[in-house]
Amino acid sequence: MKKYRVSPKDKIKLKDWDANECSEFPGDKNAGKERLLKLNSELEGLQEMLYAEGQHKVLVVLQGMDTSGKDGVIQHVFEGVNPQGVRVAAFKVPTPEELAHDYLWRIHKELPGKGEIVIFNRSHYEDVLVVRVHELVPKEVWKKRYAQINAFERLLADEGTILLKFFLLIDMEEQKLRLTERLEDKTKQWKFNVGDLGERKLWPAYMKAYEDVLNRTSTPWAPWYIVPANRKWYRNLVIGEVLVDTLKGLNMSYPAPKDDLTNIVLE
């Protein structure tokens, strides 16, 4: 899945990326789902070992336009993991208390501890995306934040956090289909937000903002992956493969028992 990783040396243009692309898995949708089940099983074991070993911290950042599938990734990729060691943090409109602090204050409180995986459903990048597109602060303010975010994430990495950042790429036509499905299905209408229609009109501005995020903040210590997300099964597969491969690379092991268990006999 390295082809989806944004190199710090390259400058990407999102118009060159295909949201329907699925070249790294030659099988069909059903075969892809079967592969995901195997990844779920592997992830379950790796996450259990991560928690037991208590040495590593993993932060997964999910960003994307409305309906790109952040909730779906959390539901399907992380199916079966032990909730004792996995947590989701969703970042919505800042509260008055959060606005009274710097923009990273609310982020720092949700970071993973040792042995924990934390999934950010949206993240600190909202402060160079929504804030930029809606001109909530002057350009000279949000423009500084790329370097601040890089420094922040470098601190996290230096302190032992593994960062994986995924941009879920869909196109406007796919978003239209998903919004229509929400509108017409009574079981999904609760997800429909009229405000999403206004955000949809700002698509070009968001794509430019995302391009700058990907080009300016994909670093060796906190890489971005552009995930083709029109096909939900492939989206989940890409993220599952990256996550499992990363955890395997930690060469984890279960800790030795605290006591000598050699002569323990249960009666």
State pLDDT tens for residues 80-108: 898 889 999 999 999 999 999 999 999 99
- What are the pLDDT digits (tens) for 108-149? 999 999 999 999 999 999 999 999 999 999 999 999 999 999
| β pairing state of 117-121 and 86-90 | parallel
Q: How much is the pLDDT for 257? A: 80
Q: Return the structure tokens found at 182.
A: 């929400």
- Mind listing the domains of the chain with CATH numbers? 2-7+19-248 (3.40.50.300)
156: which residues sit within 8 A by CB, 6+ positions away? 59, 111, 163, 222
Please, what is the average pLDDT of the chain? 94
Positions of the chain with pLDDT lower than 70, given as ranges: none
pLDDT of residue 248: 97
For residue 138, report the phi and psi dihedrals to the nearest 5 degrees: -65, 155
Cα(102)–Cα(17) distance, rounded to whole angstroms? 34
What's the pLDDT score for residue 152? 98
Contact partners, residue 50, CB within 8 Å, separation at least 6: 56, 58, 85, 115, 116, 117, 247, 250, 252
CB 196 within 8 A of CB 66: yes
Q: Quickly tell me which residue has 């309906």 as its tokens.
A: 67
pLDDT at residue 258, as a whole number: 78
pTM score: 0.94
